[in-house]
Structure 1
Amino acid sequence: MNYLSATATGLPRTLAEVAATYPNLVEPASFTFSIWSVIYGLTILPIVVEFIPLVDRETRDVYKRKIRPFAWLWMVLNIAWVFAWTYNQILLSMVLIFAYGFTLALMTDKLSKIEQSKRKFWFLTLPMSIHFGWIIVANFANLTTMMVDFGFDGIGMMGAFWAVAALTLVMLLGLFFYRSQGTMLVMLPAFWTLIGVIAQQAPTSSYPFANTFVFVASIVLFVLGIIVVTGIELARRQKK
């Protein structure tokens, strides 16, 4: 599905082509979306977990009972979202990606509550945490697209303020789940998104709607995020 959505094979348009028709200042540079390849690549791990001899029976049983139902659900929601988005059903795609994110939130929450999940379930924690972190970003991107579809000026002054507010909320939500689930992996997509936005909004960018305010604010958010995450990690190590 990742390949189909990237090449428009069997679909009317690619994900990027649809996004380009709704200009806004939240959308990062195109290279940022390469994270989908990483996510789908890592997703192979939980899919094949039942067939890996090195994974003990207890771990496989926990996966079947607590994780697998959510795994199948997010896959279905992912496919449905791709179809809704590429067929320009923006409102429907918003509903689907919210359900998609909620499913991943439940899944990662269950993982975080399993004893020794970081050691025994790394093949689930790694892909699901990064995936969830990116879907937090995608929800705000989809919301912004829907706002533009409804007539919001995504590239004007209000668009700039909204972009900074949305990126701030992405960072805050990332930090919240980082604290509650105990894994910094969920924060990585937020930092990656800020890098993409900084590249997109830079004065030297070829993007026709580059905004200096969003550019500077994104740098500030990135630096503050690094400081906060470093502080949290140092505090955790001191407690150990």
Structure 2
Amino acid sequence: MVIGRNKLYDVIILPTISTREIIMHKDTARQLANILSVIVALTINILANALPLNGQNTGEISNRFDVFFVPAGYVFAIWGVIYIGWIAFVIYQAQPAQKESPRLRNLGYLFALSCVFNAVWLFCWHYNLFGLSVLVMLALLSLLIASYLKLNVGQTPVSNIEKWSVDVPFSIYLGWITVAVVANISDYLYFINWNGFGIAPQLWAVIMLVIASLLGLTMTLTRRDSGYAFVLAWAFAGIAQKQADTALVANSAWVATVFVLVMAIYSLVQRRRLPGWY
């Protein structure tokens, strides 16, 4: 009987323990991957302008393109907020209590991959591979959208600390990359001398502002995501200021700014009325 029970233990219990250990190792690997990817991405972002890469700063390259969907220089300070969000997220997800979090398990390695593509984009941009930079930026946007959906941001009630460590950082990052994709594509089209199908560049900028504003509307109505909308407002206001000499673009950008700000405030009010939400 003793031998039989030991055999039963070996057959049933040991594989169960082994499976759990494998899962725990995967959780640890995911946590470490997120930490390392942020360290690498932050290092490359700093060195890109400190060295700088290929002898040119990120902003210097951007200034070569005479496009209308580019905000004033101060707007890019939002990267500081994004970096803080990265750090907050990796610290939060590295906590022992979050090791087995279903949300973070569902996210998987998407965030780590987004950091890799962020770093790759810098090399493409600094070495004047503008066509490739667009593809990399689109891949980055796709990863962030997938991350956003995997985390179910805006539709899952969370604690305040999880809101500020997970939901808000991803909302801000996704909002900014949404703007950056449009700007990146605009730069590339200018680089290849695209004629815009005969449509004036100023009108294309207005069209892009309308599309981006509708995205902000969608996010606030379906996800009550004020963070995403506030980022769009920040970018639109910067576009309005930079393009102050072009009335059509500047006025359209100011209208878009007010529109998404109203939607952001509306989403904040609506969210606070829901029981169990922050």
Q: Which moved more, 1:167-176 or 1:83-92?
A: 167-176
Aligned partner of 2:117 in structure 1 is 77
One-letter amino acid of the structure 1 residue matched with residue 257 of structure 2:
F
Q: Counterpart of 1:43 in 2: which secondary structure?
A: helix
| Residue 236 of structure 1, CA deviation | 5.6
Aligned partner of 1:95 in structure 2 is 135
| Residue 238 of structure 1, CA deviation | 6.2
Q: Does residue 116 of structure 1 match 2:151?
A: no
Aligned partner of 2:147 in structure 1 is 107
Aligned partner of 1:211 in structure 2 is 246
- Out of 164, 181, 185, which is 2:206 matched to? 164
CA deviation map 1:26-72 (0-9, x unaligned): 1111001111111012100222224336x45543x541x22241111
Aligned partner of 2:189 in structure 1 is 147
- Out of 36, 47, 53, which is 1:4 matched to? 47
Q: Could you tell me whether the CA contact under 8 Å between 1:2 and 1:36 is conserved in 2?
A: no
Q: Does residue 224 of structure 1 match 2:267?
A: no
What count of residue pairs does the alignment treat as equivalent? 229
- Unaligned 5+ runs, structure 2: 1-43
Give the TM-score taking structure 1 as reference length: 0.84
One-letter amino acid of the structure 2 residue matched with residue 26 of structure 1:
F
Aligned partner of 2:68 in structure 1 is 25
Tell me the distance in 2 between the aligned counterparts of 1:239 and 1:71. Answer: 29
CA deviation map 1:58-98 (0-9, x unaligned): 43x541x2224111110111011111111111110101101
- Unaligned 5+ runs, structure 1: 203-209
Aligned partner of 1:126 in structure 2 is 168
Tell me the distance in 1 between the aligned counterparts of 2:51 and 2:195. Answer: 28
| Residue 225 of structure 1, CA deviation | 2.4
Q: Could you tell me whether the CA contact under 8 Å between 1:112 and 1:182 is conserved in 2?
A: no
Tell me the distance in 2 between the aligned counterparts of 1:41 and 1:234. Answer: 26
One-letter amino acid of the structure 2 residue matched with residue 227 of structure 1:
V
Give the TM-score taking structure 2 as reference length: 0.74
Q: Could you tell me whether the CA contact under 8 Å between 1:163 and 1:214 is conserved in 2?
A: yes
One-letter amino acid of the structure 1 residue matched with residue 136 of structure 2:
L
| Residue 227 of structure 1, CA deviation | 3.3
Q: Could you tell me whether the CA contact under 8 Å between 1:2 and 1:37 is conserved in 2?
A: no
Q: Could you tell me whether the CA contact under 8 Å between 1:197 and 1:218 is conserved in 2?
A: yes
Aligned partner of 1:86 in structure 2 is 126
CA RMSD of aligned residues (A): 2.5
- Larger of the two Rg values belongs to structure: 2
Task: Specify which structure has the bigger relative contact order, considering alpha-carbon pairs within 8 angstroms and separated by 6 or more residues.
Answer: 1
Identity of aligned residues (%): 25
| Residue 103 of structure 1, CA deviation | 0.5
Q: 1:189 to 1:158 in 2, by over 3 A?
A: same
One-letter amino acid of the structure 1 residue matched with residue 253 of structure 2:
S
Tell me the distance in 2 between the aligned counterparts of 1:211 and 1:157. Answer: 16
Q: 1:15 to 1:118 in 2, by over 3 A?
A: farther
Q: 1:109 to 1:38 in 2, by over 3 A?
A: same
